[in-house]
């Protein structure tokens, strides 16, 4: 299913796209779900396109500039049965358990759990060895991933700040549902903890993007030139990975 990524910057970087700001926010009730409707105008769109967000959390409409918002909403409203069917088809996400696997820096890692093992998780080759109660296994796995994210992201941040000749700003882990990274005017950089599950190059591209914002607080050509000089890999490939697999990082733990 096609989707729109909400990686910070993408919206503005597509020169031909504009957001429908100022239009009334709408929501559709579908069964037990009240879903926000996200309208997006595309200059080159020739028709209205309706999608359920891959995580089922929103209804997305793209529309040509000349179509009034109410018409697009009526279009979605008339297709509530279709949306309801899409919702029932969403994969049920259950946190991975013993014998299952999680992704760690782009590699699958098997969960080797036994109540008698040490509580503190330890990475041993392609296994994560973890003890403690079964009921809190998922919580402790998330905590471990977050600790790893903090450690690895701090190293990424220090390296890119050195390259950009900027002091290292405060780093905060974000639990945002739609953003991979952000850079506040006060200098704090927030990075989504789930990126610890993505390949190193993908995670690092997001850190490099935010560090480039410490110098250029926009998405100007100068910003992109800086990002290209900071990041050692291909930004296009990293963005393509996020577009294709990014939502999947929300599957195991929500």
Q: How many CB atoms lie within 10 A of CB 212?
A: 25
* Residue 96 makes contact with Zn ion by CB under 5 A: no
Place of tokens 């926009």: 218
Residue showing the smallest CB distance to Zn ion in the complex: 9
* Residue 181 makes contact with Zn ion by CB under 5 A: no
Place of tokens 């560090």: 211
Smallest separation, CB 95 to Zn ion (Å)? 31
Residues 110-149: x where in contact with Zn ion by CB under 5 A, - otherwise, as a string? ----------------------------------------
113 or 160: CB nearest Zn ion? 160
Smallest separation, CB 19 to Zn ion (Å)? 15
Residues 6+ apart with CB under 8 A from 9: 209, 219
* Residue 194 makes contact with Zn ion by CB under 5 A: no
* Residue 8 makes contact with Zn ion by CB under 5 A: yes
4, 7, 9, 109: residue in contact with Zn ion (rule CB under 5 A): 9
* Residue 51 makes contact with Zn ion by CB under 5 A: no
In angstroms, the Cα distances linking 75 to 26, 47, 160, 243 are: 13, 11, 47, 26
* Residue 190 makes contact with Zn ion by CB under 5 A: no
Report the alpha-carbon angle 103-9-231, nearest 5.
60
Mark the segment that binds Zn ion (CB under 5 A) among 4-12, 81-89, 106-114, 167-175.
Answer: 4-12
Are 190 and 173 spatial neighbours (Cβ–Cβ below 8 Å)?
yes
The crossing angle, in degrees rounded to 10, of helices 200-215 and 221-230 is 130
Question: Binding residues for Zn ion, per CB under 5 A?
Answer: 8-9
């Amino acid at each position: 299913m096609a989707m729109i990524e909400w990686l910070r910057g993408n919206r503005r970087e597509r020169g031909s796209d504009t957001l429908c700001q100022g239009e009334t926010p709408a929501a559709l009730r579908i069964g037990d779900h009240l879903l926000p409707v996200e309208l997006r105008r595309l200059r080159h769109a020739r028709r209205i396109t309706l999608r359920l967000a891959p995580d089922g959390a929103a209804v997305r409409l793209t529309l040509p500039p000349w179509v009034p918002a109410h018409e697009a909403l009526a279009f979605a409203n008339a297709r509530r049965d279709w949306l309801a069917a899409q919702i029932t088809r969403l994969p049920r996400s259950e946190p991975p358990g013993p014998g299952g696997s999680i992704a760690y820096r782009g590699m699958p890692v098997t969960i080797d759990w036994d109540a008698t093992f040490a509580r503190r998780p330890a990475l041993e080759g392609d296994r994560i060895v973890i003890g403690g109660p079964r009921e809190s296994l998922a919580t402790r796995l998330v905590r471990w991933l977050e600790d790893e994210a903090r450690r690895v992201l701090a190293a990424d941040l220090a390296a890119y700040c050195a390259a950009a000749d900027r002091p290292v700003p405060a780093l905060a882990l974000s639990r945002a549902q739609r953003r991979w990274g952000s850079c506040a005017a006060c200098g704090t950089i927030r990075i989504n903890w789930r990126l610890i599950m993505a390949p190193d190059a993908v995670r690092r591209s997001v850190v490099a993007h935010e560090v480039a914002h410490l110098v250029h607080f926009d998405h100007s050509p100068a910003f992109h030139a800086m990002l290209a000089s900071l990041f050692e890999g291909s930004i296009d490939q990293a963005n393509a990975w996020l577009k294709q697999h990014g939502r999947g990082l929300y599957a195991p733990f929500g």
